[in-house]
Structure 1
Amino acid sequence: MPLHRREALKTALLGAITMSAPLDAVAAAGAGNPLLLPAPASSRRWRRGLDNQRVPDLSDGTFLNPVLSGDRPDPAILKDGEDYYLTFSSFDSYPGLTIWHSRDLVNWRPRNAALHRNIGSVWAVSLEKHRGRYFLYIPVKADPNDIHVIWADHIDGPWSDPVPLGLHHHIDPCHVVGEDGSRWLFLSGGDRVRLSDDGLSLAGDVEHVYDPWRYPDDWDVEGFSPEGPKIHRHGDWFYMLTAVGGTAGPPTGHMVIAARSRSIHGPWEQHPGNPLVRTQEMSEAWWSRGHASLVEGPDKRWYALYHGYEADFWTLGRQCLLDAVEWTDDGWFRMTGGDLSRPLPRPKGGKALLPHGLALSDDFSQPLALGSKWSFFRPTLDEAGRVRVAGNTLHLAGRGIAPSSGSPLLLIAGDTSYQFECDIEVSEEGRAGLLLFYDDKLYAGLGFDQARFVTHQYGIERTRPANPHGRRMRMRVTNRRHIVSFHTSGDGGKTWTRFDRGMEVSGYHHNVRGGFLMLRTGLYAAGPGEAKFRDFRFTALED
């Protein structure tokens, strides 16, 4: 095709999307159309909301992914009347499994955390409602590995204490009710197990029921790894979506496949269009897309939620993406959003819950928002006892001698550039500071005691230059597309001095360290006594 015709077609397709075209127009411009190239990063413009964070709803009938930025992996969604509830793998962060709420699938607000006791690293869960009761089936990496269940009679809790089911060799459960009323957990690897009628114990042995579709052997993937089954009943069919290709590794690896059956007992028929979602090129806006769930929107159309890494930003973890689904005449479905780099029509109907997201700044005038905002990394049972809020001040008792041996207090920041600052006061023998924290082996930041600074880099403590400010200072961290700088102030932020060490943190992510986490912002207190934190301010920066 001549270049001028190619460019004209691209312009027409982009216009169809950005002018709130019907979904048919988006489908024509979506997956499988090689003429619609990814939108360059410089052309993707989000609205700005709380703390200047990016907002997906563009207020013109369209939205721009991600619908929830930052580390929101393995989305588990529940439609409950006109309400939608969503939660994600929370891994080593506690309180964990924060429940998010929406009425339109685009604008989301956090509610409460469902899991408060550390039972291990929480992987992909199943959120369900059955006979008026809410259930969370929770796989954990622990000793031993297991899948737990908790339940509640209200989505905000209180949630029950976790009950282990004794499933030590599987992850990623999906609760489903068969056409005969039987309850099941479908598991990684194409297996399933029957549940008791109350859903709180097993009622049979694990059995293998499905062999997932396999990709060509010359594709660049991390591994076969069939996981994350999600089963939805639509019409006369059960549809199973599965992730294969590995969660991270090569950006082209992770993908979404589907199969269907008229009975929960099989047999399962492979989708003729597999894979339904897969990153094709490094130039795309989103990498390693997979782990999808189907859900009916407020407009009675169907949508898929899945996760993906933002191009060049593995550090932000797997973010939550929304794709429109079209049902086809043969009873199958397909995704229509292409590579998700461009605005897509927003689901119609449903009252938006505004403002979207949550403010990360904190003046510590209210009890600490543990779970909905702040969380501890790999906490002990008494970790929450370290925290006290009084007089617009967060009092955080020291633990360990460095971030590696304590439990930092962390936030999920979902923008590619941002800065955060805080007034920090240490005890006579204590230390405290601000962090960019992946895990206890990989972090960066700046801390101080009353005499010296301490730089944190590569997960170790390095230089110890003199501290001219004494026991109290204001500290600021700027992360601009992985280039990190530090500033300090001894007069409450009236004047700032740039700290004489900068860092580059693009390698602080899963493909280097493992663990499936993200580089979180946060603060820490170490050594004897307690540190006092005042006026924590977060601001997302536009690139």
Structure 2
Amino acid sequence: MNLTRRDTLAGALAAGTALPSTAQTWRHGVDGQRVADLGDGRFLNPVLAGDRPDPALLKDGRDYYLTFSSFDSYPGCVIWHSRDLVNWRPIGPALTKNIGSVWAVSLEKHAGRYFLYIPVKASPRNGIFVIHADRIEGPWSEPIDLGLPNHIDPCHAVGEDGSRWLFLSGGDRIRLADDGLSTVGKVEHVYDPWRYPTDWVVESFSPEGPKIHRRGAWFYMLTAVGGTAGPPTGHMVIAARSRSIHGPWEQHPGNPLVRTMSEEEHWWSRGHASLVEGPAGDWWALYHGYEAGYWTLGRQTLLDRVAWEANGWFHMTGGDLSRPLPAPRGGSAVPHGLSLSDDFAHLALGTRWSFFRPHSNEAARARVANGQLHLSAAGTAPSDSSPMLLVATDRAYRIECDVEIDPSTTAGLILFYDDQLYCGLGFDEQRFVTHQYGQERGRPANPHGQRLRMRVTNDHHVVTFDTSGDGGRTWQRFDRGMEVSGYHHNVRGGFLMLRPGLYAAGNGEARFGNFRYVGR
């Protein structure tokens, strides 16, 4: 599918006027992937739609690499590649071993080797891990535990004296060994972040996500404060600078550099920024934000142009980012995104699909053959079956799929936030099973037996289900509809998104075929 959804607002785009909050002016490339590139030298945020939080960005010659917090999704830390900062394609996952819930990482290259510093929330304790690779495509090493249970959001930095450091949440840092694979000494406090006025409406102070950049004679530190979610006006970007990696750090006189000022803006809770030099030498910032009214889509990746001032400071220029903006000059476009539809010609784990909180051998449950995904059943329900999920990119979309089950297997389609908050429709050979609020809500009779085609529509948070016993030629509306606008972090916690996906529970296996995702 190659739909272009620009025609009705062509005049507004040409004039550069603000877009209504309900306007759908992005383009779809391959099935289900929103494309930021408008094709006329401009782009429209987000550059990566859906849940792509805490962007960790690396410039490596003419190539740019990007990865995100992957939390409980595995394979995780998917690496994306670009040559123009607007068009991105996934390379593959760097992390396959479940070490816990992955928060904001640091992606670096030092002395010809790539490093990922990975903070995790895990039981029995939190920690920060490092993995490394000689090629960005991998293979990546086994995770090495650096300890550091009291911090999140590491950022690798190299000082003017060649020393290597991890800067951490709260204005702290710790030295790294020369090989970057262990720490030296103790954590030290080196920076007191700028504080906003006490009457601002925020979630909490929460200084996190430090990013260190060197330009000319200065080191610049960007930090997120104000809380990641909560009120739309909470999250923000602040900056400081120093002549030395060792400080002292001088606060930016224009703090905060990025902040959502009103819930009327198109992007909420904007923060967690990285700076990068563009292909033609201009500068840009990538950070995340929630689309207004759509916390369910998670934090999406936004691109903002940076302007440098004569005094060595900088500021962002994009405003609320609701308008088309001039794209970075130079560079070249890679094919953007990937299809969210799947004919199961191969198993796209870590790019299209991921498991939720998988066991160490979870990937062995899934294989493809004859255009079908064969998924061995596990657990008793979506809550304990480690469903296979993908990142939705649209405020409204539809998924549908052929599903065939063994006796004693229950399978179906779901919209899944986490193991305690999801909805969906499954079936065994005799009955349907409806899921709502993370609970089983009813088991009406199933007239289709062990095979049917199922469709789930999420129309701006209103969810409906349809089933077909003849391969999709005719459809029957299922008598259970739902409203899911509350299936998000500010209700449940966890910093996740509502993901469409597949599950198989009980015994035996389910076979899924001809999976289709259509953004609406």
For this structure pair, what is the TM-score category when the shorter chain's length is used for normalisation? over 0.9
Matched position secondary structure for 1:189: helix
CA distance in 2 between partners of 1:18 and 1:338 (Å): 18
Partner residue, 1:489: 468
TM-aligned CA deviation for residue 330 of structure 1: 1.0
Instruction: Show the counterpart of 2:86.
Output: 106
Q: Secondary structure at the match of 2:183?
A: coil
Q: 1:470 matched to which residue of 2?
A: 449
Deviates more, 1:516-525 or 1:46-55: 46-55
The aligned counterpart of 2:424 is 445
1:299: Cα distance to partner? 1.5
1:20-58 residue CA offsets vs partner (Å, 9 max, x unmatched): 9xxxxxxxxxxxxxxx8x531244511221115321000
Correspondence for 1:414: 393
**What is the CA deviation profile of residues 470-497 of structure 1, one whole-angstrom value per residue up to 9, with x for unaligned ones?**
1000000000100111000000001000
Q: Secondary structure at the match of 1:50?
A: coil
Q: 2:304 aligns with which of 309, 315, 323?
A: 323
The match for 1:46 among 13, 17, 26 is 26
Aligned to 1:306: 287
Q: Deviations over 1:409-446 (max 9, x none)?
A: 00001110100100001111110000000000000000
| Residues 232, 18 of structure 1: alpha-carbon distance in 2 compared, 3 angstrom cutoff | farther
Equivalent residue number for residue 460 of structure 1: 439
Give the conservation status (yes or no) of the 8 Å contact 2:34–2:48. no
Matches of 2:493 and 2:345, distance apart in 1: 37
Residue 374 (structure 1) aligns with: 353
| Alpha-carbon distance in structure 2 between the residues aligned to 1:105 and 1:80 | 13
Any idea what the Cα deviations from partners look like across 1:167-207, whole Å, max 9, x if unmatched? 11000000000000000000000000000000000012100
Task: Quote the Cα distance in structure 2 between the aligned partners of 1:16 and 1:71.
Answer: 28
- Describe the SS at the equivalent of 1:204: strand
Q: What whole-Å deviation, never above 9, does each CA across 1:258-310 have from its counterpart, x for those lacking one?
A: 00000000000000000000000000000000000000000110000000000
**Residue in 2 aligned with 1:344?**
325
Is 1:153 aligned with 2:134?
yes
**1:243 — aligned with what?**
224
How far 1:236 moved relative to its partner? 0.6
Tell me the residue number matched to 1:167: 148
* Structure 1 residues 79 and 474, CA gap change in structure 2 (3 angstroms): same
Distance 2:217 2:516 in 1: 52
Query: What's the offset of the Cα at 1:19?
Result: 6.7
Query: Quick one: distance in 1 between partners of 2:102 and 2:34?
Result: 27
TM-score (norm 2): 0.97
Give deviations 1:345-364, integer Å, cap 9, x for gaps: 0001111002x111011111
Residue 326 of structure 1: how far off its partner (Å): 0.1
- CA drift at 1:513: 0.3
Compared CA separation, residues 453 and 43, structure 1 to 2 (3 A): closer
CA distance, structure 2, for counterparts of residue 52 and residue 524 of structure 1: 21
| Map of 1:513 onto structure 2 | 492
* Amino acid in the other structure paired with 1:512: V
Number of corresponding residues: 510
C-alpha distance 321-424 of structure 1, shift in aligned 2 (>3 A): same
Which structure 1 segments of 5+ residues have no match?
Answer: 1-13, 21-35
Instruction: Provide the rounded CA distance (Å) in 2 between the counterparts of 1:227 and 1:318.
Output: 16
Letter in 1 for 2:28: R
> Residue 396 of structure 1 aligns with which residue?
375
* 1:126 alignment partner in structure 2: 106
Match of 1:511, SS state, is helix
Counterpart of 1:117? 97
Secondary structure (helix, strand or coil) at the match of 1:362 reads coil
The CA distance in 2 between the partners of 1:518 and 1:201, in whole Å, is: 33
Q: How far, CA to CA, are the matches of 2:99 and 2:367 in structure 1?
A: 24
Structure 1 counterpart of 2:425, which letter?
L
Q: Is the contact between residue 182 and residue 197 of structure 1 (CA under 8 Å) also seen in structure 2?
A: yes
Check conservation: 1:120, 1:140, Cα contact below 8 A.
yes
Deviations 1:88-127 (A, max 9, x none): 0000000000000000000000001000000000000000
Rounded to whole Å, the distance in 1 between the matches of 2:181 and 2:425 is 46
Q: Judge conservation of contact 1:307–1:320 (CA < 8 Å) in 2.
A: yes
Q: What amino acid sits opposite 1:331 in the alignment?
A: G
Rounded Cα–Cα distance in structure 1 between residues aligned with 2:138 and 2:500: 28
Instruction: Label 1:49 to 1:172 Cα distance change in 2 as closer, same or farther (>3 A).
Output: same
TM-score by structure 1 length?
0.93
Do 2:32 and 2:341's aligned partners in 1 also have CA atoms closer than 8 Å? Answer: no
The alignment-based identity, stated in percent, is 74
Say which of 230, 233, 245 aligns to 1:252: 233
CA shift in 2, pair 1:132/1:17, >3 Å: farther
Q: Which amino acid is the alignment partner of residue 479 of structure 1?
A: N
Q: Contact conserved, 1:44 with 1:342, CA < 8 A, in 2?
A: no
Residue number among 410, 421, 433 corresponding to 2:412 in the alignment: 433
User: In structure 2, how many angstroms separate the alpha carbons of the residues matched to 1:286 and 1:528?
Assistant: 44
Using the TM superposition, name which of 298-307 and 40-49 deviates more: 40-49
Q: Which residue of 2 aligns with 1:29?
A: none
Partner of 2:298, secondary structure, is strand
Q: 1:515 to 1:52 in 2, by over 3 A?
A: closer
What is the rounded CA distance, in whole Å, between the counterparts of 2:218 and 2:135 in structure 1? 30
Q: 1:387 aligned to 2:353? A: no
Cα RMSD of the aligned pairs, angstroms, is 1.3
**Residue pairs, 1:62-81, within 5 angstroms:** 62-81=42-61
* 1:95 counterpart residue number: 75
C-alpha separation in 2, matches of 1:454 and 1:392: 26
2:310 & 2:179 partners in 1: Cα distance?
Answer: 38
Q: Residues 496 and 102 (structure 1 numbering): CA distance in 2 closer, same or farther, change over 3 Å? A: same
How far 1:15 sits from its partner (Å)? 9.7
On the 8 A contact 1:18/1:343 being kept in 2, the answer is no
Q: Distance in 2 between matches of 1:15 and 1:102?
A: 30
**1:513-535 deviation line (CA, Å, top 9, x unaligned):** 00000000100000010001111
**Aligned position for 1:11:** none
1: CA distance between counterparts of 2:437 and 2:495?
18
Deviation at 1:393, TM superposition (A): 1.1
Does the aligned pair in 2 maintain the 1:397–1:530 contact within 8 Å?
yes
Specify every segment of 5 or more residues in structure 2 that has no aligned partner in the other structure, as ranges.
1-9
For 2:11 and 2:245, how far apart are their aligned partners in 1? 43
Question: Residues 277 and 17 from structure 1, CA distance in 2 versus in 1: closer, same or farther, beyond 3 angstroms?
Answer: farther
Answer whether contact 1:421 1:474 (CA < 8 A) is retained. Answer: yes
Amino acid of the structure 1 residue aligned with 2:21: A
Following the alignment from structure 1 to structure 2, what is the Cα–Cα distance between the partners of residues 404 and 44? 33
Q: Which residue of 2 aligns with 1:26?
A: none
